[in-house]
Amino acid sequence: MRFLANENFPLDAVEALRQNGHDVAWIRVDSPGISDREVLSRAQIENRILLTFDKDFGELAFRSQLPATTGIVLFRVKMPSSAVVAQKVAKAIALRDDWYGHFSVVEDDKIRMRLLFKQPEM
């Protein structure tokens, strides 16, 4: 899968996903300091699912209704170390293949998903 890791995403987690065969671009290296709106726009343009620990992206996708159809995965997990976070991220991403098009919240004990756009009725 193609992901865009937000600036707050730990290197260990980016590397774990890459080792599992995912294409992961990382804001901290490619475009440090850009705004959340620019991060979301880049995810759309590059057709990448956004990975973040920043709750503001839910606000941008739902209340501000900025385009976010590729998907957003918000991690709300305990973070004792970046190595533990990397394990949790890799495990969560491997559990599903339907991240695209959803706003997903990954917690230590569950994953919640909500469609970011309505499917056209036939």
Domain boundaries, the chain: 2-115
DSSP helix/strand/coil, 3: strand
Run of H or E including 49: strand 49-52
- What is 2-115's CATH number, 1.10.1660, 3.30.70, 3.90.660, 3.40.50? 3.40.50
Q: Kindly report, residue by residue over 64-105, the tens digit of the pLDDT.
A: 666 667 899 999 999 889 999 999 999 999 999 999 999 999
Q: What is the 3-class SS of 71-101, one letter each residue?
A: CEEEEECCCCCHHHHHHHHHHHHHHCCCCCC
Q: Kindly report, residue by residue over 23-73, the tens digit of the pLDDT.
A: 999 999 999 999 999 999 999 999 999 999 999 888 887 776 666 678 999
What is the reported pLDDT for 67?
Answer: 63
Number of residues that make up the chain: 122
The pair of three-digit structure tokens given for residue 8, joined into one six-digit string = 């707050």
Candidates 25, 36, 102, 30; CA nearest to 69 is: 102
Edge-to-edge strand list for the sheet holding 102-107: 23-26, 2-5, 49-52, 72-76, 102-107, 111-115
